[in-house]
Amino acid sequence: MIISLFLLCCSQHTGVAKGSGWLKTAQSWTIVASPDMSEPSDWPLPPEGIRYRLPPQVVESLRHHPLSSGLFPTVIGYYPRAAGHRMRRPHHDDCLLMYCTGGKGHLWMAGQEGRVNVEAGDVVLLPPGVHHAYEADAGNPWTLYWVHFQGRDLGHMLVLLGREAGVQGWGLHWHVGEVPAVMSAFQSLLGARMTGHQFPVALHLSQQLRALLTLLAVRGVHRPTHHGLDLEKLHTWMEAHVREPVSLDDMAAVAGLSRAHLHRCYKQLTGETPLQHFLQIRMQYAAWLLDMSDRPVQAIALELGYEDPLYFSRVFRKVMGVSPSAYRQRAHA
């Protein structure tokens, strides 16, 4: 699967893109703040869909407050299996970030010839001034998290994302994949709609947005390789399969290396074996489930692929230093 982050720049030369508020110099991008906002689609929401627009007075307060004027959201949403979803914007006044977690869709944009296919794990970032159109695939419609946002620091953030991708031009592509932290960040943004329109909550939203964007920058950092081992790619795959009992053969296939080569390179880089690291993140995930729910230990063991809860408890104790029951009691003390 090809996973991409598209960073769509307004111009390849110094100048202002028509109607965009963008100014590119050799040193930086500058955004001229504008009160205009691009409208989200009016796609009919299913019961589980979300489209949350911050009230205009809250947006104006965020625009002028020193803690939020740099970056702040205006509309946030979640479209599950969005059959029939389509949008065309000949004028685009803010920035739009979309994260596809299932299905697929298609994107057309200024500066890009032809159609771009967007699949599960893709992130699309559309800056101001880039006219575009997109639609869900007719046979396998996408599931999207998305947020419209503005702010004086937008240009700096786009430069950061572009630099860490290591590519310049209309299209920046790097592997994102199914990243639980990115999904969690979007879910946190959407959770604000349940807290009313208190301004401190809106301020917190602006900081969560900044954290989400810098997280994507971290995911775009050039991934060092060691004798052919792409450590970041392997760790991303491990995170996506944390609920599954995978083998060294599975990891070697993902890394494109032999079992022995993977074992040796990984230990040289990290000081532990790949199976040891994977076991640690699985038990950390189990600890999170113990913290966040009152589910029985047996149910948590089954979620992680352990049919024998006693064996799961022994593994958990070996990694975490205490049994699952003792961990839960200590966490809730």
Q: Domain coordinates of the chain in residue numbers?
A: 5-220, 225-331
Give the per-residue pLDDT at 17. Answer: 32
- Max CA distance (Å), the chain: 66
Instruction: Choose between 158 and 238: higher pLDDT.
Output: 238
Half-sphere exposure at residue 233, Cβ-oriented, CA atoms within 13 angstroms: 20
Over 50: is that where the pLDDT of 23 sits?
no
Residue 272 has pLDDT above 50, yes or no: yes
Asked if the model's pLDDT at residue 125 lies above 90, the reply is no
When mean pLDDT is compared across 151-165, 216-230, 283-297, the lowest value belongs to: 216-230
pLDDT at position 32: 36
pLDDT of the residue at 6: 40
Cβ contact 193:52 at 8 Å: yes
DSSP state of 47: T
Residue found by looking up tokens 């640690």 in the block:
280
pLDDT at residue 38 above 70?
no
Contact 141, 83 (CB under 8 A): yes
Q: Are 73 and 210 in contact (CB under 8 A)?
A: no
Question: Would you call 249 helix, strand, or coil by DSSP?
Answer: helix
- Residue 291 and residue 95: Cα distance in Å, rounded? 36
- Assign 331 a pLDDT band (cuts: 50, 70, 90): low
Spell 21-34 as b/e; 16+ CB within 10 A means b.
bbbbeeeebebeee
* Fold annotation for 5-220: Jelly Rolls (2.60.120)
Q: Which class does domain 225-331 fall in?
A: mainly alpha
Q: With a cut of 50, say whether residue 19 has pLDDT above it.
A: no
- What is the predicted pLDDT for the residue at 47? 87
Percentage of residues of the chain with pLDDT beyond 70: 80
30, 188 in Cβ contact below 8 A? no
Angle at 163 between CA 237 and CA 213, to 5 degrees: 60
Query: Cβ(146)–Cβ(79) under 8 Å?
Result: yes
**Distance in angstroms (rounded) separating the CA atoms of residues 75 and 92:** 14
Instruction: Look at 19 and 266; give whichever has higher pLDDT.
Output: 266
- Check pLDDT > 50 for residue 99: yes
Best CA proximity match to 96, nearest among 149, 158, 155: 149
What are the E-state strand segments in 22-131? 22-24, 29-31, 50-53, 72-79, 86-89, 95-102, 104-109, 116-119, 123-126
Determine the average pLDDT of the residues in 287-307. Answer: 92
Confidence of residue 212 (pLDDT cuts 50, 70, 90): very high
If you average pLDDT over residues 190-198, what whole number do you get?
Answer: 82
Whole-number pLDDT of residue 226: 63
**pLDDT for the residue 225:** 57
How does residue 190 score in pLDDT terms, banded at 50, 70 and 90? very high
pLDDT value at position 61? 96
- Looking at residue 36, its pLDDT comes to 53
Distance CA 234, CA 255 (A): 6
Q: Which of 107-111, 141-145, 179-183, 308-312 has the lowest mean pLDDT?
A: 107-111
Average pLDDT, the chain: 81
Residue 110: predicted pLDDT: 74
5-220 shares its CATH topology with 225-331: no
Residue 174 per-residue DSSP state: -
Find how far residue 26's CA is from the centre of its chain. Answer: 29
